Amino acid sequence: NDSERGVVWEEVIIMLPDYVNLIFLSATTPNTIEFSDWIGKTKKKPVHVIRTNYRPVPLSHHLYAGNKLYKIMEGTSGFFEKGYKEAAKALLPASERDKKQQGAKKGQSRGNSAPSFRKASGSAQSAWQQAGSRQNWTALIKFLDREGLMPTVVFSFSKKKCEEIAGMLRTLDLNTAVEKNAARAFSIQTRARLSPNDANLPQVITICEMVQRGIAVHHGGMLPILKEMVEILFSRNLI
């Protein structure tokens, strides 16, 4: 969705010195051969294309509901309807859950199987669509930390939402004292590379404080030096 991005990459590839070798990794490039052919002609080097129709590292898909993870897909094994139903049930208000349980018991007592869950509607549907409150996000991060599922990357299609979610976590501190000192020292070095005016921008101050607690944001609306700082700290397991 950025029309200038392709031009920038073309200039970078064209202007790179001959001694620089290139490795490209993509899951979405449709014209792989055409693109590779252009690179080979431009750099006057052979290009080897390696393509797979499967994901070497399988993905596990879970839904988080009621302070618990429910698996709904594992690799190519298909959709786990049971996990989805349990997650949908966990999002229902306690009164509705009790009614469904009582209805299931009555059905079983009559020799019928338990009713399957229909498409979520009403309160259940709104529960799926809610962006999450501060309490929800805090509980999720604490759960992931407790279960050893850190570091975690949260994707949002909104830059503003990224910052809002990070702001909801301002009461959390995920780093140890040693990690906090390391993140603080690196953030000080980063700010020192900026002009005095830029070093005191609200975005710079906020993110430099945030990374000390092991939390950060990363999007196109940030200063490049801040994105670089976040990437380096993430690679050092400090985010």
pLDDT tens across the length of the chain (239 residues):
566 667 888 899 999 999 999 998 887 788 889 999 999 999 999 999 998 877 778 889 999 988 899 999 988 888 999 999 999 998 888 777 666 666 665 655 555 544 444 444 555 455 545 668 899 899 999 999 999 999 999 998 888 999 999 999 999 999 999 999 999 999 999 999 999 999 999 999 999 999 999 999 999 899 999 999 999 999 999 99
Contact 116, 85 (CB under 8 A): yes
State the Cα–Cα distance between residues 152 and 102, nearest whole angstrom. Answer: 38
Provide CB contacts within 8 A for 43, sequence distance 6+.
13, 16, 18, 22
The three-state (H, E, C) secondary structure of the chain, written as one string: CCHHHHHHHHHHHHHCCCCCCCCCCCCCCCCHHHHHHHHHHHHCCCCCCCCCCCCCCCCEEEEECCCCEEEEEECCCCECHHHHHHHHHHHCCHHHHHHHHHHHHHHHHCCCCCCCCCCCCCHHHHHHHCCCCHHHHHHHHHHHHHCCCCCCCCCCCCHHHHHHHHHHCCCCCCCCHHHHHHHHHHHHHHHHCCCHHHHCCHHHHHHHHHHHCCCCCCCCCCCHHHHHHHHHHHHCCCC
Distance of CA 138 to the CA centre of its chain: 16
Contact 33, 24 (CB under 8 A): no
Tell me which residue of 201, 207, 209 sits closest to 230, measured CA to CA.
207
Contact 68, 144 (CB under 8 A): no
pLDDT of residue 53: 79
Orientation angle between helical segments 177-192 and 202-212, nearest 10 degrees: 160
pLDDT of residue 223: 93
pLDDT of residue 115: 42
pLDDT of residue 112: 52
Evaluate if pTM is beyond 0.95.
Answer: no
pLDDT of residue 114: 44
Reading phi first (left if > 0) and then psi (alpha if -120 to 50, else beta), residue 193 is in alpha
Half-sphere exposure of 89 (CA within 13 A, CB side): 16
State the Cα–Cα distance between residues 154 and 132, nearest whole angstrom. Answer: 13
pLDDT of residue 94: 73
pLDDT of residue 214: 96
